[in-house]
Structure 1
Amino acid sequence: MIALSLLLAAAVPVPPVYGEPTNWLCRPGRADACSGDIAATIVTPDGKQLREPRMRRAMPSADCFYVYPTTSMDPTPLSDLIPGDGEIGMAASQAAPFRNVCRVFAPMYRQVTLPALRDSMRTGKRLSAADLETPYADVRAAFRDYLARDNHGRPFVLIGHSQGSALLKRLVIEEIDGKRIQRQMLSAILPGTAVLVPRGRDVGGDLKTVPLCRAVTQTGCVVTWASYRDTNPPPVNALFGRAGAGDLVAGCTNPARPEGGSARLDPLLGFPWWRGGVAQFRQPAIWTARGKPVGTRFVRMPGLLSGECVTRGEFGYLAVTVTPGAATDLIAATVGPDTVGDTAYPDWGFHVIDIAIVERDVIELVASQSAAWHARK
């Protein structure tokens, strides 16, 4: 009996100590992956460039807890806790722009690495729940540490993508759904993973009391989507937006129009990591529009895309339409058919840019939810 107890104890992952600052990729008030330059250039459909006015908001009255997607290039199945270009670059691109509307907290965690994921895809062996046990234990420990040391009753948003979203979905299920802390959650933003709901309903399935968000002032809800080009819907072997067997479907919320229907999207891209690696984030200017260099790392392209949540069979996803004739080289670099894989790898769709194609919309949604939460308090 003692031997069995020791064996079970050894199987439980021991998380890092998140009281140590080095185990955080981003924390407010310090120089780190989320504190760099977030100036953006607006590129209009005809290629004209306008410097985006600096957003001037009061000190953020909400927090964002961000868990980055699969990005580590460590050669081991699980990453270490030393930030590499992958973790730093992804946080700089996805998480840093949120600091205008929230304090950003992003833990390092021992994730399933890109080499391990590629090996899994090559061999056909899907990742199991056991593969994610250590990553989840880390994220849960970091969230509990954040609540104990930093939250002080403030509203918070959970933001993930892909592996990060899968871990945060489990966190909502186990730590938030139906519990008192749900009242403080503005939303859980979980693109690139399937949050299952009964067909035609916004609550039930994976989450028992946390519904899909259907208004910009609704709080305590989930924003989730998997994005595919409207002309390339998910194939039968699609990796995202699928429910599998049963009466459930993958939920979908369009951050630009949570209530449903088509809406113009407001993309904000930090750097094209899908075109040659995350080390590009260290370059100060990497975009062009109609042949002219864009002078900022971030580029914003209102009018380039529109999107609408649709359900087709077992798939629920954000169908993305590209405006024809817009700044052509920028289209080619961001949502061109040879860029993000929806032609060569239709099962992936627009997965790698799930957040980027709606990032400004998501930022404004968080601002609206924060204002609504404080108005009701």
Structure 2
Amino acid sequence: MTAALLTPPGAAAIAVVRIHGSGVGPFLAAHFSGRARIGRAVHGQLSDGNKVIDDPVVVLVDSCTADLNVHGGPWVVRATLDLLGRCGFAVESLATGAAQQASPAGGQAAAIHLAETSDALSREVLAALPHARTELAVRVVLAQPAAWEALLRSPPGREVIEALLADRTMQRILLTPTVAIVGPANVGKSTLANRLFGRQRSITADLPGTTRDWVGELANLEGVAVMLVDTPGIRRSDDVIEQTAIANAKDRVSTADAVVVVLDGARPFDDEQADVLRHHRGAIVAVNKSDVAPAWDVKLLGTDALPIAARTGTGIDRLTRAILVRLGCLDLRIDSPRCWTPRQREILHAIG
């Protein structure tokens, strides 16, 4: 029985361990809480006795082969490999070629054989997995072999093919798009950022200029990982440091995949707010502080302006969906085929 680490060593979002041999079924039955099924991505807990190691996604390739898609922290990977070694698997890393115990299947050659996949799509899936930063992204990637098999078995019409060619969902979930939050000072941008981060990341205070530089960190928006950038409030200031931070943040905003303009509905619609709106035409507009008495009518901005209350969370779901629509990631059905490589595009063009 063999186990191979298919992904490079070191910290990563996901690590893939492929196990092979007659002991795969008994190992999963004893240590994995989910019921593994051939060709399906199954989520569950991987345990070593009473200790839970991780909550991986397991794909049973065939009755003797399975991929364990664990979180890529060094401790999780090491604990998984140690457990496999104690259960009789010969553990070897493809990246280093260093066997951790004698392998009856032929050492490194056996591990490399495990990495060889039956077709190009499976190799593309393995290459994409380390870039999938959320559980949903992993599920979408792992579902592609079955989705493409169904597609090729019953090729769709030209309209569907064109939609698949235009779809950029996989590029978005694998390349981590950037979402920038901009607006005047003290309108609640950092409070909104913390709400989307799901924790306290940006410092908030009722003082203009509290955020002195852009803050970027990964946020999980309904299964899509985005680099969320909280920028300093745009205002006139004699503070050289603050003005430098505002200028630097503009570079981040100019290259962002989506921009959210935050306005303050509880203070008069002044020139500062109008200027930000004018400089970011086409951006998603969120009017904050809808939980207090309004100072102006949001409808003046048109039907696309979204009233929110970052402090309480009101309207955040609608804003999140608007961001996903802008990124083209609202439809993340797991069983849908996706196109993300030139080879796949050639196949679709040939079908169409």
Could you tell me the TM-score, scaled by structure 2's length? 0.27
* Structure having the larger proportion of residues in helix: 2
Q: Which has the larger radius of gyration?
A: 2
Q: Tell me which of the two structures has the higher relative contact order, counting C-alpha pairs closer than 8 angstroms and 6 or more residues apart.
A: 1
Could you tell me the TM-score, scaled by structure 1's length? 0.25
